Amino acid sequence: MVDEVVRDWRAVAAGAVLLDGFHPLKHALRFGGDVRRVLTVDRGALLALAGELAPDVVAALDGLAVEVAEERLRGLAPRLHPTGVVALAARPSVAVNRAVLGRLPRRAPVVVLENPRNLGNVGAVIRLAAGFGATGVVTTGELDPWHPTVLRGSAGLHFATAVERVDLPELPAGPLYVLDPEGTDIRDLPFPDDALLAFGTERHGVSAELKERADRLVAVPMQAGVSSFNLATSVAMGLFHWMSGRR
């Protein structure tokens, strides 16, 4: 029975994304993700945890969760989360996500991360975007925004918004507001709902190409001698500024 479960898992894993731990799984179920398989070291404990923290997903988990020995599970997910559960879900369609990101008029901005490098930071940004109700997050460069470490950092909130990797010429339509120290003070410039809010890396900032494409450059005031804000902190300030202007 267990060998069949493991073989089935490996067959499904080829076309799926890994949800590592209870919270990514919870959010995938809550926001309509297509969860294909759920394995846990303790089925009863998993259902009890869901009953305490997320009663809305208990029924779905009850139908999906299969208990396997911890050593078997570690063979499938070496960095087993303390909650002792891993799952596989279908990655949402690129075409569907791009349609969501490009649809106008939009009721909330799209966050653009130019060539991000840190997987955890990207996960934190996606979590912020979901919390603020942003339309989605797009990344440029080589990093896969659906990497398991990014999914862990977002707590699975990829499924609550639209997340895709695009090339710079493929950015969704809408006015492009680029965060850059040379820009207009953010306190003097409201963000429209259909804006693209673009952020560069902490070390290098945004590229000259992205600046040239910008409709507006926007600066966040910073104390002299401080080199940069953390990427997720910058995104949080930008999204909060947008939200504050909607009151």
List all residues 6 or more positions away from 210 whose beta carbon is below 8 Å from its beta carbon. Answer: 114, 168, 178, 198, 200
Average pLDDT on 10-22 reads 90
Q: Tell me the one-letter amino acid at 168.
A: L
Q: Could you identify the residue written with the tokens 């945890």?
A: 49
| Burial bucket for residue 106 (CB in 10 Å: 0-12, 13-18, 19+) | buried
Letter string b/e over residues 193-213, b meaning 16 or more CB atoms within 10 A of that residue's CB: ebbbbbbbbbeebbbeebbeb
pLDDT value at position 226?
80
Report pLDDT digits (tens) over 165-207: 999 999 999 999 999 988 999 999 999 999 999 999 867 789 9
pLDDT value at position 6?
79
pLDDT at 1 over 60: no
Q: Which residues of 120-231 form beta strands (DSSP E)?
A: 136-139, 162-165, 176-185, 196-199, 216-219
pTM metric for this prediction: 0.92
pLDDT at 240 over 60: yes
Report pLDDT digits (tens) over 50-75: 999 999 999 999 999 999 998 888 88
Report pLDDT digits (tens) over 118-169: 999 999 999 999 999 999 999 999 999 999 899 999 999 999 999 999 999 9
In a 3-state reduction of DSSP, which class is residue 228? coil
pLDDT value at position 80?
85
Report pLDDT digits (tens) over 74-132: 888 778 888 999 999 999 999 999 999 999 999 999 999 999 999 999 999 999 999 99
Q: What is the mean pLDDT of the chain?
A: 93
**Strand pairing category for 16-20 and 85-90:** antiparallel
pLDDT value at position 202?
67
Measured between alpha carbons, how far is residue 234 from residues 60, 100, 111, 205, 221 in Å? 36, 24, 11, 12, 11
**Strand pairing category for 85-90 and 35-40:** antiparallel
pLDDT value at position 174?
95
pLDDT value at position 73?
87
